[in-house]
Amino acid sequence: MKKRTLGKGGLEVSALGLGCMGMSFGYGPAADRGEMASLLRAAVERGVTFFDTAEVYGPFVNEELVGEALSPFRGQVVIATKFGFALDPAGGPQWVGLDSRPAHIREVAEASLKRLKVDALDLFYQHRVDPDVPIEEVAGAVADLIREGKVRHFGLSEAGAQTIRRAHAVQPVAAVQSEYSLWTRGPEEEVLPTLEELGIGFVPYSPLGRGFLTGKIDANTTFDKNDFRNVVPRFTPEARTANQALVDLLGAIGHKKNATPAQIALAWLLAQKPWIVPIPGTTKPARLEENLGAAAIELTPEDLREIEDAASRITVQGSRYPERMEKMTGR
């Protein structure tokens, strides 16, 4: 597996990471813990060194899973986690708001260190921009943790260009994580140019469109009652029918390259910039193998032009989040 570097601080990771959320949270019942531990270790054996989790996934259980499964590989892997949500004080499964107060950031860091069984958090993202806490205070709080040796690198998730600049001026940002794929291209407008200018890495989450770009989902697919795609506007049957054109495009390119739609979707992201590191998630060993195969696919300039020309004629239908979460993208 080739390596890529996030930010100017030398955070080197595998060109493809592994998003771990779906192992415990978001897409129906949690998967078997033992099987997921085996999958995480198999990813390491296949060259993956970058793993993504967060306290809110579960909450807590995903960090515990990742910490336990990867404990034999200390020093060999990079684990990213996140702060910034206020969790239900009654211990419920839902977050109840945002909280990036410096004292809360410190509390989350201390708890995540224990769950992940590490001495320092490799990459600590603000999960969502908190409008009630100046980003300078957030960056300062993480800078303090970095000085104390509890955090190695600072990241932001779903932050806009202005926020990124303000945070980076206080504490260098190693990476920004936002949704980005052939059906979610908002970061191209302002965020990616800002990151290139400042020397910050980019980590696309949901690079396979929450499974849709794999070609395994159509208008008739039903999801588990606890799967959050049930409330995502982009996953209504009507939107899925309209958005099938994008999957068809990936399939056509894949046919020429002897690759799957998922592999083309990931190869397209890797071809955009050398400092982009997608983090597809999966709970299945076969899908892990398929996704990692994307790193070996070379898309020529002609391939990329063909994809761009065809994609420009497709209008994606449906918002990527319910309204409550769509409003939580930073400026």
Q: What is the pLDDT of residues 115-170, one digit of tens each?
A: 999 999 999 999 999 999 999 999 999 999 999 999 999 999 999 999 999 999 99
* DSSP type of residue 2: -
What pLDDT, in 10s, does the model give residues 2-54?
A: 999 999 999 999 999 999 999 999 999 999 999 999 999 999 999 999 999 99
CA distances from 4 to 155, 165, 194, 329 (A): 16, 22, 19, 26
pTM above 0.85, yes or no: yes
pLDDT of 330 higher than 80: no
User: Cα–Cα distance between 79 and 167 in angstroms, integer?
Assistant: 21
Pick the CATH number of 3-326 from 3.20.20.100, 3.40.50.80, 3.40.50.720, 3.40.50.300: 3.20.20.100
Active-site residues: which are they? 57
Instruction: Note whether 76 and 54 are within 8 A (CB).
Output: no
Q: How are beta strands 151-157 and 173-179 bridged, if at all?
A: parallel
Domain ranges of the chain: 3-326
Q: 4 phi and psi, to 5 degrees?
A: -135, 160
